[in-house]
A and B are shown apart, each in its own frame.
Chain A
């Protein structure tokens, strides 16, 4: 029996045109979806479950009721059950920092005792890229960040991984289990949920937990970090845009390219 925990996050994507409201972007300019990196982590976990004899995959998230949809999608792809942590205290926190997320997931880990924890390298919205490794250290698990290949030898208690370094170099590393791996995009091809999967997901359990349920108090999620300003980056652009319809714009671009010697035989 092996248990894999996948921590996931529902993230907001900002539309092309949006308006800032202090340190927030109004909901009408946001579109919510499963964090792209976490989709690859889910696929990794589901593939392990399909390849193994007795593998349970549990998915955990921190977020409001809206996130049930995201968790349900993970269930439809083959995750066995979900956990969603939320309460009024969490709802009142402006920016949940890495330490707060670590406390919450650490409490879940203490309860679930997974052999392997998978999560995305980073979240698309706040891009801290820190939760997985922080959680590993807090839980006393080994870890590897930015993993783009995994060969799990559960019997030997080792994960053979590749870490994607900069500049097209990969590091081959052996990681002792239990471990947290942060998963990079491209490690696999995340599946789409099948109709059957979506139907089955309706019957799967999503356990709702509060901080109190996890044995945590308000202090555990008190953030030392506050968002004090949000602004649109100043464009340093001095781009020359070719105007007009596609024909006109393309013709202008073509003449610039010719000036630079493109197409000269």
Chain B
């Protein structure tokens, strides 16, 4: 009993990237534990998924065929059954929106300690997990005293597992108690359509919380116009209803890769960075020199946007 069970993520017929990151994290941990890596895929076209999941480091792929889409009640029951069968030391799950919808229930059901949103995992007689606190201002190490344990991992922190494995595929029969399935997915909807597609823009001027007030958005609109850029934003601006959802950059908004991304008053929370880190040139204007946006920016001004932006507008309006 020193194995790792990694549960992968898929949506609408596609495995999500984090599935292959879970394999990398799981293979490392299994090596530290001296055990095997079992990968489980639940619901959807599990046979197709199993073929794609057979990468380096995977010892067995378990498939649980039940329904098409994610349902947390099905996931919890399936993982509970897999846990009983395999008795792993670790269950690794994604810290995705769906991961957050079942991992805590799995941990509760199996009475496992749970550490979420891991950015690093190491095992040396006990488990140590690196994770952030206070909106990325500090990193912490948490140690877990007992085994087995459950961990969810943050996306894009581990490399995606490559290569071809030779893992056997084991169809795993679970008799799902349908009376315990008390939620039903009735559909999906793409949001944030509309007049502007920020993913098409060569230059984005993106506004964040630092703008303070709805009436100040106009200033950034003016800047975007002067630069011939498209206006986008971070989440709080959309949450406040100051700009429509189709302008939102980030994990729950759009992923953009413009030539130039000018972040104005954006601190650079991890969810935002996930949506724009692929931009060619990143420029940040922010009052806080420790803002994480400066970690990924190529150029920056530590200063008040209300002082800097008007000068920039002047520079490009004359």
Chain A residues with CB under 8 Å of chain B are: 12-14, 16-18, 20, 23, 25, 95, 97-99, 102, 121, 124-134, 136-138, 142-146, 162-176, 182, 185-186, 189, 224-233, 235-242, 245-247, 249-251, 253-254, 256-257, 260, 262-263
Q: Select the stretch in B23-31, B35-43, B253-261 that faces chain A.
A: B253-261
Question: Taking the complex as formed, is B173 at the interface, i.e. its CB lies under 8 A from any CB of chain A?
Answer: no
Q: Which B residues from 82 to 107 make CB contacts under 8 A with A? A: 95-98, 100-105, 107
Closest to B316 in A: A263
Using Cβ atoms and an 8 Å threshold, which residues of chain B touch A164? 97, 252
Closest to B253 in A: A168
Q: How far is it, in angstroms, between the C-alpha of A134 and the C-alpha of B128 when the chains are bound?
A: 22
| Closest Cβ–Cβ distance, residue B147 to chain A (whole Å) | 10
Using Cβ atoms and an 8 Å threshold, which residues of chain B touch A228? 128, 141-143
Using Cβ atoms and an 8 Å threshold, which residues of chain B touch A171? 185, 187-188
Using Cβ atoms and an 8 Å threshold, which residues of chain B touch A137? 76, 104-105, 108-109
| Closest Cβ–Cβ distance, residue A211 to chain B (whole Å) | 19
Question: Taking the complex as formed, is B165 at the interface, i.e. its CB lies under 8 A from any CB of chain A?
Answer: no
Using Cβ atoms and an 8 Å threshold, which residues of chain B touch A186? 235, 238-239
The answer to whether B104 touches A226, judged by C-beta atoms less than 8 angstroms apart, is no
Q: How far is it, in angstroms, between the C-alpha of A182 and the C-alpha of B105 when the chains are bound?
A: 13
| Closest Cβ–Cβ distance, residue B26 to chain A (whole Å) | 20
Q: Which B residues from 218 to 266 make CB contacts under 8 A with A? A: 226-229, 235-236, 238-241, 245, 248, 251-255, 259-260
Q: Is the interface of B mostly helix, strand, loop or mixed?
A: mixed
Contacts A176-B183, A224-B113 aside, 14 further interface pairs with beta carbons under 8 A come to: A25-B138, A127-B132, A130-B104, A133-B101, A134-B107, A165-B97, A171-B188, A172-B186, A186-B235, A239-B298, A241-B300, A246-B308, A249-B301, A253-B283
Using Cβ atoms and an 8 Å threshold, which residues of chain A touch B185? 171-173
Q: How far is it, in angstroms, between the C-alpha of A146 and the C-alpha of B139 when the chains are bound?
A: 24
Q: Which of B113, B128, B132 has the most CB of A within 10 A?
A: B113
Q: How far is it, in angstroms, between the C-alpha of A98 and the C-alpha of B106 when the chains are bound?
A: 12
The answer to whether A166 touches B97, judged by C-beta atoms less than 8 angstroms apart, is yes
Using Cβ atoms and an 8 Å threshold, which residues of chain A touch B101? 133, 143-146, 163
The answer to whether B299 touches A253, judged by C-beta atoms less than 8 angstroms apart, is yes
Q: Select the stretch in B46-54, B55-63, B288-296 that faces chain A.
A: B288-296
Q: Which B residues from 112 to 171 make CB contacts under 8 A with A? A: 113-117, 128, 131-146, 149
Closest to B149 in A: A224
| Closest Cβ–Cβ distance, residue A153 to chain B (whole Å) | 13
Contact of A237 among B113, B139, B295 (CB under 8 A): B295
| Closest Cβ–Cβ distance, residue A130 to chain B (whole Å) | 4
Chain B residues with CB under 8 Å of chain A are: 11, 72-73, 76, 95-98, 100-105, 107-109, 111, 113-117, 128, 131-146, 149, 182-192, 203, 226-229, 235-236, 238-241, 245, 248, 251-255, 259-260, 281, 283-284, 288, 290, 294-304, 307-309, 311-312, 315-316
Using Cβ atoms and an 8 Å threshold, which residues of chain B touch A253? 283, 299, 301, 308, 312
A-B contact count (CB 8 A): 262
Closest to B238 in A: A186
| Closest Cβ–Cβ distance, residue B144 to chain A (whole Å) | 6
Using Cβ atoms and an 8 Å threshold, which residues of chain A touch B186? 172-174
The answer to whether B304 touches A136, judged by C-beta atoms less than 8 angstroms apart, is no
Q: How far is it, in angstroms, between the C-alpha of A60 and the C-alpha of B177 when the chains are bound?
A: 33
Given A125-B134, A166-B251, A166-B252, answer yes or no on A242-B295 (Cβ-Cβ < 8 Å): no
Closest to A142 in B: B182
The answer to whether B97 touches A233, judged by C-beta atoms less than 8 angstroms apart, is no
| Closest Cβ–Cβ distance, residue B107 to chain A (whole Å) | 7
The answer to whether B100 touches A185, judged by C-beta atoms less than 8 angstroms apart, is no
Q: How far is it, in angstroms, between the C-alpha of A232 and the C-alpha of B300 when the chains are bound?
A: 21
Contact of B138 among A233, A238, A257 (CB under 8 A): A233
Using Cβ atoms and an 8 Å threshold, which residues of chain B touch A238? 298
